[in-house]
Every structure is written in C-alpha cells, then in structure tokens.
Amino acid sequence: MRIDRDRLKSLMAKERQKFVDERPKSKALFERASKSLLAGVPMNWMMKWAGTFPPFVREAQGAHFYDVDGHRYIDLCLGDTGAMTGHSPSATVSAVTQQVGRGITLMLPSEDAIWVAEELQKRFALPFWQFALTATDANRFSIRLARHITGRSKILVFNWCYHGTVDESFITLHDGVAEARRGNIGPPVDPPVTTKVVEFNDADALEEALKPGDVACVLAEPVMTNVGIVHPQPGYHQAMRDITRKYGTLLIIDETHTICAGPGGYTFAQNLQPDFLVFGKPIAGGVPGAAYGFTEQVAQCISDRQSLEDCDTGGIGGTLAGNALSLAAMRATLDKVLTAPAFERMIPMATRWKAGVEKAIKDFGVPWHVTQLGCRAEYLFAAKEPRNGTEAHDAMDFELERYLHLYALNRGVLLTPFHNMALMCPATAPDDIDHHTKVFRDGVRALVA
C-alpha cells in the first residue's frame, strides 16, 4: 500500500494549524526565546519536535506533563529515556532534596558512591565502576581506556548506531563504503581514520574487520534502539564475544537504552560478558549521571598503567563527575525506583501498547510492524523486522513520522522526536496506553481510509 503524499501534506498542514491555534502561550514563549536562544531552543535537538515550535513545559509528574497552555500529555518519550523512572520519582526527589542542603559537589567521595557501585556489581556482574555525567562521556572514557590498554587506535561500531556525541561513532556505510554520517558537524578527523563500521547481525563482516588486529574495542548496544529496534539474531552475541576475544578486541556494551529490558539490562537478561558496560540517562532519575563498569582484568590493566601525577589530565573524568548529588540520586533511583517490581509493571504496558498498534496496523492494512524490548516499543514503516541498521534506516519515513507524531501531540500523547519510540515508566497506566491506541488508530484512519 502506498501513502498518498498529497493527502499526507494536507493532513500535516491541518495538524500544524491546530497545534499553533491551541498553544498561544507556548507560541509567545517561543517568539521570545528566538531572540536569545539559537533557533528558539536551549539545545539544538529540540528543533526536531513535530510542531511549529516545541510545547513549553509547565510541570511534569510520573507519566504525564502539562504545557504552559494547560494541555495534559501522556509522556511516552520520557526525555528519550532520561525519565524512564517517571518524572520526579518521589524517592529520588527526597534524596536529592536532602543532599542538596548537605553539599552538591566536592571532588571527594561519599558513601553513596560505594552503595551504587555495589548495586551495579549485583546488577551487571562487573566488579569495578566509575562515574561520569553523561552516557556520552562514559562511552568516551571506556573507548579511551580500551585504546590505552590494547595500544590499538581504532574502534568498531555498527551501521546506524547512536552512542551519544562520541566523535568516532558518526560513521555510516554508503554502498559498503565507510563515510562520515550525514549531518556530522565538524568532525575532528574523517571518521574512517578512527573507526570501522559493519552491519549488526553480520558475524562474518565483524570477523573481517577485526582480523587485522588494529581494533581496540567494539562499542555496541546489545539491541539497536536508535534506528528503530533491531534485535540480535540467535547466536549473534555469542559470535560477537567469540570473535572479539579471538582478536584481542575489548567489548563495550552500552546499556543506556537497553536498560529497558530489566533491572540488569540486556546484559543480565541474556548473560552477556562485556569487558566494559555503560549505563547513563535514567540511572539517577533524570539528574545528570552515568556509570561505566569493567572486568577485574581491565581494572588491573588500568591500574598497571596509572600515573598519579597525570591522572587529572589523561582525558578521563570530569570536575563534576561522581558528585554527591548525582550519587545520592543514583542510590535512591536504583534502590527504590528502577526496581524489579517496577519492571514487572512497565513491561506489560509496552506489551499492551504493542498489541494496540499491531491491531491498528492489521485493521488498516498498512505494511508496518511493531517491535518491543522490555518496557520500550516502536513501530517501523516496513512489514518485516529489520536485521540490521540499513534495513531499519531504509524503512524510515520522516514525513510520515512527523505527521503521526504531531497527530498524537495534538491529542495529548508525546512520542520521541526521533523515530517512533514509546517508553513506559512505572507510573504509565493502562488508560494511557489505550488513549495512545485510539489516537494512533484515528491518525492512521485519517491517512488511509
């Protein structure tokens, strides 16, 4: 079935008008913002929301937020996983409130750091941990350490991956040739100088790339989540581990999004054996913080090469990393919010969301499908599940995506502005899901009926 593009354009124009008409206060704020903020937003990605401007937020709590015009939204974006805990979870808020009056940052450790590291040991079966402020930094530090340990210069990533603003990762394959990713702003060097890129789920390509012995580490999401969801095929993770070990390449598993699979992420659920593991975004309930863990062997290699005199200028760490506030927030979040019982509530919500979207797809006969990973689900504009980043990327349709997102936003549902991801938090309720299902059905009906 083909989408009628003229119809799509005219529906989109109507939705844009509705969005503007119903949000005079956000519009006024946006006009004011345009005089002091580049493109009227505090961070460039916020240009990407499907409306003419982003709704300005008045307040958020649990699975919902209100904009300044008084509209209530079901939040299925949840700060693109930063608020997978739900907005302002009470345990995190009370820990942060207490800590904020007792010192925010000192460049000295607090007992919370040990508690959090001990908890992460239990969750991910890795013995040693360090902290950063963002998952991007945790990835960057892990990559640096991998290079330091192996003495190799290159890293390897999967085609159409995303791991934060890590310079080395902005590389894609064009007709089999590695090039800078479209839109890559000011790369320090041409990405193929630093990075090899292969398709996910292709063990032979991985082996070919690692064979020369110049790759320090593979940086991988265990399930790709940033180009839609791409699941590993049976046996692929074992093959990845065997091949990386065979060629002395370290394996960094980035669980920043795949933590949606459960309290120990995909690593615990599938008994993966990474050398490094990165976990950011929701780890502190939305307060900036990230962690990276590693094996005993990696810890030994780092210790053997450590220089006391230069340890503050080696390119790892940060003044505010591991600060007292962030660690208090992590402790409360891990102890009381991102718990096993919370996942037992969240995952069935994603299953319900998937079933609702799947039924609409079937009823209206559109050639799309829905995938789920724990408490995350996503629809993609292709009939079959993709096996790799290219297949997933080929199925994207920016115009269609924006229409469905804006249609939902105008009816009180926020999806992520990148692809069609919906995430559940512990406060997401069946009514929230059913409202999305209705809105999705209506949006698709308007398009094809």
Q: How far is the C-alpha of 295 from the C-alpha of 272, rounded, in Å?
A: 13
**CB 230: neighbour CB atoms within 10 A?**
29
Q: Token pair of 18, please?
A: 């509705």
When binding is defined by CB under 6 A, the residue of 78, 135, 272, 421 that contacts ligand PLP is 135
Q: How far is the C-alpha of 194 from the C-alpha of 214, rounded, in Å?
A: 10
With contact defined as beta carbons under 8 Å apart, do 112 and 324 qualify? Answer: yes
The residue (of 74 and 421) whose beta carbon lies closer to ligand PLP is: 421
Pure H helices in 101-235: 111-124, 135-150, 191-194, 203-210
Smallest gap from residue 421 Cβ to ligand PLP (A): 10
Binding letters toward ligand PLP, positions 40-79, x by CB under 6 A: ----------------------------------------
Please identify the residue of the shown chain whose CB is closest to the bound ligand PLP: 164
Smallest gap from residue 229 Cβ to ligand PLP (A): 12
Residues touching ligand PLP, count (CB under 6 A): 15
Alpha-carbon distances, residue 372 vs 6, 112, 390 (angstroms): 32, 34, 19
When binding is defined by CB under 6 A, the residue of 64, 147, 152, 163 that contacts ligand PLP is 163
Q: Token pair of 247, please?
A: 């060629």
Alpha-carbon distances, residue 201 vs 182, 281, 400 (angstroms): 23, 26, 28
Instruction: Count how many Cα atoms sit within 13 Å of the Cα of residue 178 in the half-sphere of its side chain.
Output: 19
Does the protein bind ligand PLP through residue 419 (CB under 6 A)? Answer: no
The residue (of 158 and 407) whose beta carbon lies closer to ligand PLP is: 158
Smallest gap from residue 226 Cβ to ligand PLP (A): 5
User: Counting every residue, how long is the chain?
Assistant: 449
Binding letters toward ligand PLP, positions 244-283, x by CB under 6 A: ----------x-xx----------------------xx--
Does the protein bind ligand PLP through residue 411 (CB under 6 A)? Answer: no
Does the protein bind ligand PLP through residue 15 (CB under 6 A)? Answer: no
Which residues make up the interface to ligand PLP (CB under 6 A)?
80, 134-136, 139, 162-164, 221, 226, 254, 256-257, 280-281
